[in-house]
């Protein structure tokens, strides 16, 4: 059998704010026959944040192998764009079903496997911080003891369910992020923009924004790098203090990178809502940076 030797994934970086059309995302194939192979579309990999989309065919999966170990020193949010993902912690037996529009969060040192569970191709937007450039990804994983066996069930909870829900929640390493767990914010004064925070730690904040027709955000900065992905609709990004081009049009599947401290605004000049998801690392509020 031909073996594949681990090599770091590409790390697209930018000198300043950058529009990243879907067509320009860096393509990469991760894995080997034992771990499974995953298609990556890497948008940003700065010294603060890593954003990519990964894809699995219907029935596809990734696990781990000696060369490709799925345990990292980072906070991760995985948001399902299409299909159904079943993600597992093979060390604890936790299993989560994540449908389109839902996300899952886990922190450092969490083993994870994933399965495309359905007839539709699986596409998942991933935010990862601290990023691989800080030694948190494959380089770190290869220093961890190899998980030689695994389980996809929590047998100790059988016979006690749902009475053991509280116990399981307290011990969980993976958190399902759905509509009932969003922390909502209104940002701005004239026509406030609704921001839904999915997860926020001292390393990474991930959330969603819906811009209504004719709505725009006020200029803001963050205490970290921001990387966004347009889910649907048409949106424009304005950079009010930049020289040269300051107005960008995004279509679904496009990304945009904004370095820490750069003022930016989002505009919807169409007649339909525009929905985006963003990640900021390490800090969302500018005074924390």
Per-residue model confidence as pLDDT tens digits over 104-147: 999 999 999 999 999 999 999 999 999 999 999 999 999 999 99
| DSSP code for 7 | -
- Rounded Cα distance, 130 and 190, in Å: 35
End-to-end CA distance of the chain: 49
| DSSP code for 121 | P
Per-residue model confidence as pLDDT tens digits over 140-181: 999 999 999 999 999 999 999 999 999 999 999 999 998 899
Reported as type and span, the H/E element at residue 205 is strand 205-211
**Could you tell me the residue ranges of all domains in the chain?**
18-177, 179-288
| DSSP code for 30 | E
Residues 6 or more apart in contact with residue 97 via CB below 8 angstroms: 84, 85, 86, 117
- In this structure, of 31-40, 96-105, 137-146, 242-251, the range with the lowest mean pLDDT score is 242-251
Alpha-carbon radius of gyration of the chain? 19
pTM of the entire predicted model? 0.96
Pairing of strands 85-89, 113-116: antiparallel
Record the tokens describing residue 265, joined without a space.
């605004």
* pLDDT at residue 1, rounded to an integer: 44
Looking up tokens 């601290």 gives: 130
| DSSP code for 57 | -
- Rounded Cα distance, 80 and 90, in Å: 20
Tell me the CATH number for domain 18-177.
2.60.120.10
Q: What percent of the chain has pLDDT over 90?
A: 92
179-288, CATH topology level = Jelly Rolls (2.60.120)
- Rounded Cα distance, 61 and 82, in Å: 15
Query: φ and ψ at 169, to 5 degrees?
Result: -65, -40
């Amino acid at each position: 059998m031909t073996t594949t030797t681990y090599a770091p994934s590409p790390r697209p970086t930018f000198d300043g704010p950058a529009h990243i059309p879907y067509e320009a995302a860096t393509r990469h194939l991760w894995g080997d026959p034992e771990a499974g192979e995953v298609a990556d579309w890497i948008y940003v990999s700065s010294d603060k944040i890593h954003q990519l989309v990964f894809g699995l065919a219907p029935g596809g999966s990734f696990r781990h192998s000696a060369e490709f170990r799925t345990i990292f020193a980072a906070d991760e949010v995985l948001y399902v764009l299409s299909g159904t993902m079943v993600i597992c912690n093979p060390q604890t037996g936790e299993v989560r079903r994540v449908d389109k529009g839902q996300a899952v969060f886990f922190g450092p040192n969490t083993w994870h496997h994933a399965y495309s569970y359905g007839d539709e191709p699986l596409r998942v937007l991933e935010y990862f911080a601290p990023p691989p450039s800080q030694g948190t990804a494959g380089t770190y994983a290869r220093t961890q003891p190899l998980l030689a066996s695994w389980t996809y069930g929590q047998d100790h909870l059988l016979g006690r369910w749902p009475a053991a829900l509280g116990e399981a929640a307290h011990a969980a390493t993976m958190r399902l992020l759905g509509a009932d767990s969003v922390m909502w914010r209104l940002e701005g004064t004239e026509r406030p923009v609704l921001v839904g925070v999915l997860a926020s730690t001292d390393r990474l904040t991930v959330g969603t924004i819906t811009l209504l027709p004719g709505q725009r955000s006020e200029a803001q900065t963050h205490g970290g790098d921001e990387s966004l992905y347009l889910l649907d609709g048409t949106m424009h990004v304005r950079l009010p203090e930049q020289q040269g081009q300051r107005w960008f049009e995004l279509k679904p599947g496009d990304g945009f990178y904004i370095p820490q401290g750069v003022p930016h605004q989002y505009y919807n000049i169409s007649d339909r809502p525009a929905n985006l998801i963003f990640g900021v690392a390490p800090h969302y509020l500018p005074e924390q940076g």
